[in-house]
A and B are shown apart, each in its own frame.
Chain A
Amino acid sequence: MIVPDSIEGAVLLSVIDFTLSIVMISGIGFILALFPLFNRLGKVDEAKLRQGQH
């Protein structure tokens, strides 16, 4: 176990976890901001996909 089983450990765990969560989710937000770039690859024909259902 990296974090000690004490109040100090709980505070340390909380601070690290909350900070890293903010950083990680911001990273996901950044990646999502790049998603419009997918549209440069072309357009998916939804009608064709729906016809091809199995």
Chain B
Amino acid sequence: MFEQLISFAGALEAQTGLSQFWWGNVVMIAIGAGMIYLAVSKGYEPLLLVGIGFSCIISNIPGSDLILPGGLFHYAYQGVALLIIPPLIFFGVGAMTDFGPMIANPKLVILGAAAHLGIFVALIGAKALGFTIHEAGAIGIIGGADGPMAIFVTMKLAPHLLPQVSVAAYSYMALMPLIQPPVMRLLTTHEERLITMKQTRPISRLEKIAFPIVIGVIVNLFFPPVAPLITMLMLGNLFKEVLVTDRLAKTAANDVMNIIIIILTVAIGSTMAADKFLTVKTIEIVVLGLVAFVFGTASGVVGAKIMNLFLKEKINPLLGSAGIASVPIAARVSHIVALRENKENYLIYHAMGPNLAGVFGTAISGGIMLALLGVK
């Protein structure tokens, strides 16, 4: 009788995930719980971290069917793997973004490329650490500070690195207010940080309507590898700017965006299984991501200072770090650092120009990288 009970308990245990549970699962569950804690108690990117954290916890329960084919998390991941989700995020972002600051001050657009040196420093660093060139490209793109673009390029170059790359990219984007200011202050003088910007010209409705159409054509013509993302960004923006499709623009910016965020976060968290995530490579990728953000910030500031050598009307070099794509976090950091020096120096509108250009800068860098690596 007792033996029967033991064998019954053994069979029951085999049915559950308990027999496959190992310490790695415990660590990942703690990481997932930590993400939810940071989101709830510290307010760090709650829209992203709650979903990722929960899905990370569930994915580390052995026996959970959700991440297997047929499970809902699996299909959420397929949305990312088939590159459906990243363009839809851009669609929503386009519908909520005013590109006026970028159109108003075209000379600042170049900062959107200058602030991406970090991508290449991380790429070379990753290659030196023994990653393949495709993996190094995916790691480098973390420095673009553009979540959907990082996911898009990673899925094309090294899909197995998606959890590490996406977690590093989104984590550092949330930490930009801590990472960027020391670098910005180190590379600028007090006098430079005090430079005020001249008010820009007003942008007409016609220009705002023309912008997504012109950029849509250019991107599809010159950068087909990343065209799906920018095309959807421009479609969302066109819905917003034409004023006659207000209902569609609001749906894209709110309902579509919210649904996509739910699917995306669940998909990312579902890839964070302990056996894939707890590796030395993960630590290397996290460190390289930080290097990419620091160098990107530095190169943007230095780029603005180089521009000042040629400009009659000097620009505030703090605008340079806003060239990192993370919209609007990087622009807000430039604004706050300038405000600390002079309470009347409002840089936010000016910083949005290079910040928005950074989205195109990352897309262009990613597109060229895919082309040079022979990936379509």
Bind each other: yes
Q: B16-33: which have CB < 8 Å to A? A: none
Q: B residues 176-216 with Cβ under 8 Å of A?
A: 201, 203-207, 209-211, 214-215
Chain B residues near A18 (CB-CB < 8 A): 113, 116-117, 119-120, 365
B206 and A32 contacting across the interface, CB-CB below 8 Å: no
**Minimum CB–CB distance for A30 against chain B, Å:** 7
Q: Which A residues, 7 to 32, have Cβ-Cβ distances below 8 Å to chain B?
A: 7, 9-11, 13-18, 20-22, 24-26, 28-32
Q: Output the least CB separation between B295 and chain A (Å).
A: 11
Q: Can you list, as one digit per residue, whether each of A26-42 has a CB less than 8 Å from chain B (1) or not (0)? A: 10111111011011011
Task: Categorize the interface residue count of chain A.
Answer: 35 or more
| Across-interface contacts of B203 in A (CB, < 8 A) | 35
Measured CB to CB, the closest approach of chain B to A49, in angstroms, equals: 4
Q: CB distance A41 to B136 under 8 Å?
A: no
A-to-B contact residues, CB < 8 Å: 1-7, 9-11, 13-18, 20-22, 24-26, 28-33, 35-36, 38-39, 41-44, 46, 49-50, 52-54
A43 adjacent to B133 (CB under 8 Å): no
B109 interfacial contact with A, CB 8 Å: yes
Interface size class of B (residues with CB under 8 A): 35 or more
Cβ contacts under 8 Å, B102 to chain A: 32
What residues of chain B lie closer than 8 Å to A42, measured between beta carbons? 206
Complex: chain B residue closest to A1, CB-CB: B374
B360 at the interface (CB under 8 A from A): yes
Shortest Cβ distance from A31 into B: residue: B214
In the bound complex, residues from chain B placing their C-beta under 8 Å from that of A33 are 106-107
Min C-beta distance of B101 to chain A, whole Å: 11
Contact B218 A31 (CB under 8 A): yes
Cross-chain pairs A/B with CB under 8 angstroms, 24 sampled: A1-B133, A3-B133, A3-B373, A7-B127, A10-B124, A13-B372, A14-B120, A18-B113, A18-B119, A18-B120, A18-B365, A20-B368, A21-B364, A24-B113, A25-B109, A25-B361, A26-B109, A28-B215, A33-B106, A38-B207, A41-B206, A46-B243, A53-B247, A54-B247
Query: Which residue from B110, B205, B206, B210 sits with its C-beta under 8 Å from A22?
Result: B110
**Shortest Cβ distance from residue A13 to the other chain B in the assembled complex, whole angstroms:** 5
Is B112 at the interface (CB under 8 A from chain A)?
Answer: yes
A28 in complex: contacting residue of B109, B116, B136, B244, CB < 8 Å: B109
